[in-house]
Amino acid sequence: MIIFVCVVFQLRSVSVDLNNDVSLLIDIPDALCERDKVKFTVHTKTTLSVFQKPEFSVPRQHEDFIWLHDTLVETEEYAGLIIPPAPPKPDFESPREKMHKLGEGEATMTKEEYTKMKQELEAEYLAVFKKTVQVHEVFLQRLSSHPVLSKDRNFQIFLEYDQDLSVRRKNAKEMFGGFFKNMVKSADEVLISGVKEVDDFFEQEKTFLLDYSTKIKDSTTKAERMTRAHKNVADDYIHVAAILNSISAEENTALKNFTFLQKVEGRVASDQELKLTELLRYYTRDIQAAKDLLYRRARALADYENSNKALDKARLKSKDVAQAEDNQRQCMQKFEKLSESGKKELTSFKGRRVVAFRKNLVEMAELEIKHAKNSVSLLQGCIETLKNC
Amino acid sequence: MKMAASSERSPPPFPDAEDQESEPALRDEDSDEGADIFLGTNPLEAMADSTFSASDVLSDLPNDLLGEPPSAVFGDPLSNISKQESTSNPAKQSSKLPSDVPCDIFDPLHGTGMEPKDDGKNASLIDIVINPVTSAKDNLPVDDLLSQPEIDIPAKTKTEQPAELRSEERPKDEPLSVASSKPKKDLFEDSPEDLFSELPKTKAKTKPQMDLFGDSSPDLFMDAKAAADTGPGRNAPADLFSEESVATTTSKSAKSNISANSIVTANSKANGVHSDEEEQDIFAEATVELSLDSPHNNRKTLDTTKPSEPASSLSAAAGSSKAQAKTLEELEEEESEDKFELNISITNPEKVGDGMNAYMAYKVSTQTTLPMFRSKTFTVRRRFSDFLGLYEKLSEKHSQNGYIVPPPPEKSLLGMTKVKVGKDDPSSGEFVERRRASLERYLQRVVCHPSLLQDPDVREFLEREELPRAVNTQALSGAGFLKMINKATDAVSKMTIKMNESDVWFEEKLQEVESEDQQLRKLHAVVDSLVSHRKELSVNTAVFAKSVAMLGSSEDNTALSRALSQLAELEDKIEQLHQEQAGNDFFVFTELLADYIRLLGAVRGSFDQRMKSWQRWQDAQTTLQKKREAEAKLLWANKPDKLQQAKDEIAEWEGKVTQYEREFERVSATVRKEVIRFEKEKARDFKKQIIKYLESLLQSQQQLIKYWEAFLPEAKAIA
């Protein structure tokens, strides 16, 4: 069984388009994988005076990111903002498991086949790793490019504090609490869905987002399945090539190309995964964030209406009127503020989404064409050699 | 692949062969008549072969071959048809010929030794046999001719055998050489252009020749083949020679002589050469050597041997060696041409009857130029069990002799039941198509086999309107059960028989076959999973396409929505593509593998037959031994009355032992030949199919490029 001890590598490309704000640039130039912990090096370059130095790097773990996200979500002031979705937990289980399986099946394969499979798995592992790093990077970049969130104190600490943040991991009770909160939230969502929407824009947004989120979720799973199937096909090519190779030494030259074919096919699969599935996945999360915003706004709306009712009641009873009025005013303010920033956020979200889709679709199409062309030339060469021998 | 490669490479070697002019041309043409051509051209070869093989044994044969048979058999057709061939024939014809260009070409061959290099350049005298014709047909530039002739000459000198032969052959060849000497001059006088201009004519002539042969010699040809198959020729080369020679020109007597010779020589010479690769390697080396040596040899021959005789003898010798070298390729070509002579297609599967008694009937159409059939095209309707019946008959008759009888596709109860019950289920349609295709391949394999083609049952199957209903093919009938038991006992006896293999070749081949069988099975499984994964992929793609379409419909940005629905369409198309590719994976690749797994079973069967016959021989020997002991006991006990009986028995068993031994040897030879043939066919088949498969992949990739390129502007249009 092979253990990935550590992988260090460079990153590039972002799957989400962001504003090019030079005042605060964040990237994750490399990351280190130790067992199931991934240590990211978060590198910041800034011109802002809030930071002590113009450039610095700090080590961060996945849990630190989650902590940052959670604090942001829990901050009242940001209720009207779409908080960028937290990056998903790094999942190296599947390639690791596959590696394990491969190790077990080593005896049934030829050496060549085994090496190929191993390489393939390593490549897959690398891809997963790369993706993990990328989503974390994107999370930070989204924060940094956000006018309000980039000023957040916690965020700045996250970036600058050069010691281990030693964020307290959630204990079981909190985990359960979080789960419970979610339950309440979804129940609440159902309850307040009865509240009449006062603003057409939000009404539309809500229906659209609800619809869109189910569909994009669906598409994501389908795309995942498709890429997995593609991967299977690519893996089959490995086996076919290996056996063909061993069947006849003479056929070697021509049939080695089969291996390349597999590589191309495999790349198609992983690129599809990277470009399309990741995009869809990201937006599934992002839309969830937008939905959360809507929920918060709806909650505020409901509160506002409740406070209105409370005020009416108080007036009727002429008791605690001042307090109720105060409460009502607060609720109204909160709601209005939420609505305003929510509107802005949602509009920018839309724009961002379209741009991201465009970018990824174009990239995917270009990659597909590139790969297809590769395999065409490969096949042509292959046929040529075969015909000539 | 290597083999295939050699066949491709063959053109160079061909030029080398000096004796036959028409042959190469025909090949190059790739015409259907190629086979016929062979017949026509081979006389020379035959001669060469006979002399070659005969070197040890034949002092008489060459004379016979050269003198009588050719003139008798070929004399007329050749003179009428083409003069090139006359070259091979006695001087009479050649003397006439010189005036004609073709003759000239031909003659140069004999004279090559004497002629200056110029000649070689002009007419490629040396090459004459092959090149002139080829050049004529292909309209190759003179340069080619020039370049080749030199190479050809060396061929003569390259092998030791030719040299040995020279001395022996000279007397025989003399007539030829004389004849050739004259033509030589003519050749020289003629300019190369003339040759070329004349070449078209030769082409024209070759055709009639073919026809002649087609009409007149088919029987000869057939006989020859049959003789070759059953005959003494154990080794491939020997067989080849004998087949060709017989088929082509010589009379039957010549045939028998040749074959006899070939046997003798085959063992001595061919042993080292059995396997294809080796042979090919040898050839390749030979050709290389030739090319290297050629200039020197050329000059040498030119300088030293002015008299026409040595030259001719050289050429003859060279021809013989060449012939040997060529045989493989020729065999291959012969086979491929056999295919052209007989085209079989199976079409129109049709359901006959209803319910569980329903069956599929297939239209078997044959197109042939073989005279053994009553007409050129005919069709019959056959059902699946008829095919099985044919196999039963053939395997009963031939497999015990060591022939590899191509196995038919397996019965599929499930598939057929579906067809019987199902209406228009796509899977049953696929099943029928799959079966149709595999039946077609099966039948083509049968008729491709030279000796199976001769079987009256095959002919009947192809020609007769109504076949008696094949019995014993029901999947689980009593007969089937019996067969299963037989197979089981066979397997047991196989395990118990410990054969001490005397022939390394068989041992190695058997191992090869077995490991190949395993590999193919593995590959089959993998390709199978490839097919199913691709199908899965296509299903998933379709689902994704639908989902994207939905997403697109709910997208509120118009451009993005449009792009998404375009993407959905694109994915739909890709799904189609995947599906087609899965079909191709299956029909082109998987079926090929399945066929060959079955065929390898048949190959193993032929090895088993050989073992069985060996076992019989050994048993007979043991019995004989026992009888002898009994006799000794009787002798010792002094019982004269029983002694006579014992002696009789011994004589009887002695006879049996020799008979079985001979049988064993015959079976061994057949198996060997069959395996070589099978391997050649396999290589060709695989090459063809893999190219086809890769082409299908190529196509789908190209399609993919088109689709994505069409999509790209859509994606870019999102704003």
Name chain B contacts of A250, Cβ cutoff 8 Å: 1-2, 5
From residue A184, give the alpha-carbon distance in Å to each of A83, A187, A302, B683: 20, 5, 15, 70
Cα dihedral B481→B486→B488→B490 (10° resolution) = -170
In the prediction, which pLDDT does A229 show?
A: 82
Phi first, then psi, for residue B535 (nearest 5°) are: -60, -45
- Interface contact flag, A236 B526, Cβ < 8 Å: yes
Whether A6 contacts A32, CB under 8 Å: yes
**For chain B, which ranges sit under pLDDT 50?**
1-339, 474-479
B697, B706, B707, B714: best to mutate for the A interface, most A CBs within 10 A: B697
User: Phi, psi at residue B232, to the nearest 5°?
Assistant: -70, -25
SS3 (DSSP) at B13: helix
The Cα–Cα gap between A284 and A220 comes to 8
Q: In this complex, do B551 and A361 lie within 8 Å of one another by their Cβ atoms?
A: no
Burial of B139 (0-12, 13-18, 19+ CB in 10 A): exposed
SS (H, E, C) A144-160: HHCCCHHHCHHHHHHHH
Mapped onto helix, strand or coil, the DSSP state of residue B381 is strand
Chain B closest-CA separation from residue A294 CA (Å): 18
Quick one: pLDDT at residue B603? Answer: 86
Whole-prediction pTM: 0.59
pLDDT digits (tens, 9 = 90+) for A245-297: 666 554 444 455 555 555 556 666 666 666 666 767 777 777 777 777 777 77
SS3 B416: helix
For residues A9 and B392, the model is more confident at B392
The secondary structure of B176-211 as a DSSP string is HHHHHHHHHHHHHHS-HHHHHHHHHHHHHHHHHHHH
* Rounded Cα gap, residues B114 and B108, in angstroms: 9
Rounded distance, CA A49 to CA A54, Å?
A: 8
Query: Are residues B704 and A237, on separate chains, in Cβ contact within 8 Å?
Result: no
DSSP letter assigned to residue B376: S
Give me the DSSP letters along A308-345. Answer: HHHHHHHHHHTSSHHHHHHHHHHHHHHHHHHHHHHHHH
| Chain A residue with minimum CA distance to B522 | A243
Residue B615, judged by CB atoms within 10 A of its CB (0-12, 13-18, 19+), counts as middle
pLDDT at B285: 38
* Residue A124, phi then psi, degrees to nearest 5: -65, -40
Alpha-carbon distance A51 to A308, whole Å? 44
Distance (Å) from the C-alpha of residue A361 to the closest C-alpha of chain B?
6
CA torsion, ordered A385, A387, B4, B5, to nearest 10 deg: -50
Residues 6+ apart with CB under 8 A from B477: none
Q: Is the Cβ–Cβ distance between B327 and B241 less than 8 Å?
A: yes
The DSSP call for residue A196 is P
Q: Map residue A167 onto helix, strand or coil.
A: coil
Burial class (CB in 10 A: 0-12, 13-18, 19+), B156: buried
Instruction: Say whether B704 and A222 touch across the interface (CB within 8 A).
Output: no
Residue with the bigger pLDDT between A185 and B711: it is B711
DSSP string, B606-622: HHHHHHHHHHHHHHHHH
Identify the sign of the CA torsion B16, B20, B26, B27. Answer: negative
Quote the CA–CA distance of B177 and B301 in Å, as a whole number.
14
CB contacts of A255 in chain B (<8 Å) are: 690
Chain A residues with beta carbon closer than 8 angstroms to that of B1: 248, 250-251, 254, 386, 389
Contact partners, residue B617, CB within 8 Å, separation at least 6: B657, B660, B661, B663, B664
| Token pair recorded at residue A214 | 């189910």
The pLDDT, as a whole number, for residue B416 is 67
Q: Is A117 in contact with A102 (CB distance < 8 Å)?
A: yes
Contact B38, B247 (CB under 8 A): yes
Q: Give the residue from B7, B704, B707, B714 with the most A CB atoms within 10 Å of its CB, the best one to mutate.
A: B704
ipTM summary value? 0.76
Residue located via tokens 């995947």? B578
User: What is the maximum span of chain B, computed from C-alpha positions, in angstroms?
Assistant: 117
Q: Which residue, among A207, A386, A387, A388, would best test binding to B if mutated, counting the most B CBs under 10 Å from its CB?
A: A386
- From CA A253, how far away is CA B690, in angstroms rounded? 13
Least Cα separation, residue B351 to chain A (angstroms): 36
Structure confidence by residue, pLDDT tens digits, A198-237: 677 777 777 877 887 788 888 888 888 887 887 787 777 7
First to last CA, chain B: 54
A291's CB contacts (< 8 A; 6+ apart) are A209, A210, A213
DSSP annotation string for B318-335: HHHHHHHHHHHHHHHHHH
What is the number of CB-based contacts under 8 A between chain A and chain B?
Answer: 157
Distance from CA of A266 to the nearest CA of B (A): 13
- Enumerate the residues of chain B whose CB falls inside 8 A of the CB of residue A279: none
Distance between CA atoms of B158 and A125, rounded to whole angstroms?
60
Residue B140: closest CA among B207, B199, B56: B199
Backbone angles phi, psi at A46, to 5 degrees: -145, 160
Please check whether residue B324 is in contact with residue B160, taking contact to mean a CB–CB distance below 8 angstroms.
no
CA distance B281 to B289: 12
Among residues B128, B29, B144, which one has the least CA distance to residue B87?
B128
CA–CA dist A121, A132 (Å, integer): 16
Ranking A55-64, A128-137, A171-180, B688-697 by mean pLDDT, the lowest is A171-180
| Nearest CB to A368; choose among B551, B560, B704 | B704
| pLDDT computed for residue B399 by the predictor | 75
Cα separation of A109 and A374, whole Å?
Answer: 28
CA-CA-CA-CA torsion sign (A172, A177, A180, A185) = negative
Phi-psi label, residue B438: left if phi above 0, alpha if psi -120 to 50, beta otherwise: alpha
- Burial, A319: exposed, middle or buried (Cβ in 10 Å; 0-12, 13-18, 19+)? exposed
